[in-house]
Amino acid sequence: MKKIGLIVNPIAGMGGSVGLKGTDGEIYKKAIELGAKPTTPQRIEETLSLIKRKDVYFMVAPGKMGEDYIKKFNFKYEVVSKTGEETNARDTKRIVQDMLEKGVELLIFVGGDGTARDIYDVLDLKIPVVGIPSGVKMFSPVFALSPSAAAEIINTAGNQFIEKEVLDIDEEAFRENKIAAKLYGYLKVPKNITLLQAKKEPSNVSKSEEDIKEEIADYLMENLEKETLYILGPGTTLKTIADKMGVRKTLLGIDAVFNGKLVGKDLNEKGLLALIKKNHKSTIIVTPIGGNGFIFGRASKQFTPEVLRLIGKENIVVVATEDKINKLECLRVDTGNIEVDKSLNGFTKVITGYKKETITEVK
């Protein structure tokens, strides 16, 4: 039997829908005050439901860090270590060490970049891991593209592994519209590149790239409609568009413009839903994350399944420079809801310049 460890960060991703851009430290308490709900249960249960191999024996963390989910399935397992009512990074590190001492051969963890960093602090390159994306900040390429991709990696995992970066960003800087990314080290993952997300690439700020963003903005400005709510996702391309509109953009947040006026700044899910329901027509404008191609599901979790259901695929506009698009295999979505993901799949138009468009697949 293959000994597989399972450890879940129960608060990972809770800051996303309420616009807090993470849950490191004590910020999760503020997320709860704002009405945030746990996201990890659905992510791990979806993964576990798709694991088909029979030669596995799970070592799981107690309670909401693992045991609560595995007991709903028919896997053989044992609970490792103990925790209190509230859990933290120290629990994660201690439990991982306990699992190592019990001979775990593969570790599944559910969380974001902060969780990956905690895992790395103990694990280094001792055994391979599979990261199930559930955080707000997920720039590290140790994560599978989705829970279903994670299950497929586990089902097919053999004896070939590669090393992938563990990255994390400063949440306080992130909330101030700055990305301060740091390489912490490397974790070993099963060799299945097509099912792992690529790491985020920095935006190209060369003069030519800036000119192209200006062209995209000019083209959009010519096609804006009156009495339409425009919801602008994060990123430098969207900031250029906002500049053309004459409004000040939250670089890493989500803002809304109606008839040339900023009507929502750094919006969370609640604020987005209120504005969308108030207006007859709404359009989301987004750009993919460089390197991994995600338009929804990474770093902009305020775009929840409920928000996207209300908007509809036909009211989503994707913009990107040709350089960024040409480096991507496809565009990706991982909203946390399979039906919403399916509704967004297929081919979509991407505006790449002034009166220039390309067709790209969304997966």
Segment 90-124, tens digit of pLDDT: 999 999 999 999 999 999 999 988 899 999 999 99
How does residue 299 score in pLDDT terms, banded at 50, 70 and 90? Answer: confident
Query: Does the residue 31 lie in any domain?
Result: yes
Query: Does the residue 202 lie in any domain?
Result: no
In this structure, are 57 and 99 located in the same domain? yes
Query: Does the residue 220 lie in any domain?
Result: yes
CA distance 204 to 285: 20
What's the confidence (pLDDT) of residue 287?
95
Last residue of a domain, one of 195, 230, 253: 195
Q: Which tens digit of pLDDT belongs to each residue from 229-240?
A: 999 999 889 999
In this structure, are 216 and 305 located in the same domain? yes
pTM over 0.75: no
In this structure, are 24 and 131 located in the same domain? yes
Report percent pLDDT > 70 for the chain.
87
In this structure, are 35 and 178 located in the same domain? yes
In this structure, are 216 and 343 located in the same domain? yes
Query: Does the residue 41 lie in any domain?
Result: yes
In this structure, are 226 and 187 located in the same domain? no
Range of the domain at 92: 2-195
In this structure, are 173 and 132 located in the same domain? yes
The CATH number assigned to the domain holding 12 equals 3.40.50.10330
Query: Does the residue 200 lie in any domain?
Result: no
pLDDT at 318 over 60: yes
In this structure, are 308 and 355 located in the same domain? yes
In this structure, are 176 and 222 located in the same domain? no
Query: Does the residue 20 lie in any domain?
Result: yes
CA distance 314 to 287: 16
Q: Which tens digit of pLDDT belongs to each residue from 43-93?
A: 999 999 999 999 999 999 999 999 999 999 999 999 999 887 778 889 999
76-79, strands of its sheet edge to edge: 76-79, 56-60, 2-8, 106-111, 129-133
Residues 6+ apart with CB under 8 A from 229: 256, 257, 258, 263, 275, 276, 279, 281, 282, 283
Last residue of a domain, one of 195, 220, 237: 195
Query: Does the residue 261 lie in any domain?
Result: yes
Query: How many angstroms from the chain centroid is the CA of residue 363?
Result: 14
What's the confidence (pLDDT) of residue 285?
97
pLDDT at 11 over 90: no
In this structure, are 31 and 168 located in the same domain? yes
In this structure, are 83 and 10 located in the same domain? yes
Query: Does the residue 201 lie in any domain?
Result: no
What's the confidence (pLDDT) of residue 135?
77
In this structure, are 221 and 325 located in the same domain? yes
What's the confidence (pLDDT) of residue 261?
95
Q: Which tens digit of pLDDT belongs to each residue from 17-39?
A: 555 555 555 655 665 566 657 67
pLDDT at 13 over 60: no
Last residue of a domain, one of 150, 166, 195: 195
Q: Which tens digit of pLDDT belongs to each residue from 132-168?
A: 998 776 788 899 999 999 999 999 988 899 999 998 7
The number of folded domains in the chain is: 2
Show the tokens assigned to 354: 């002034």
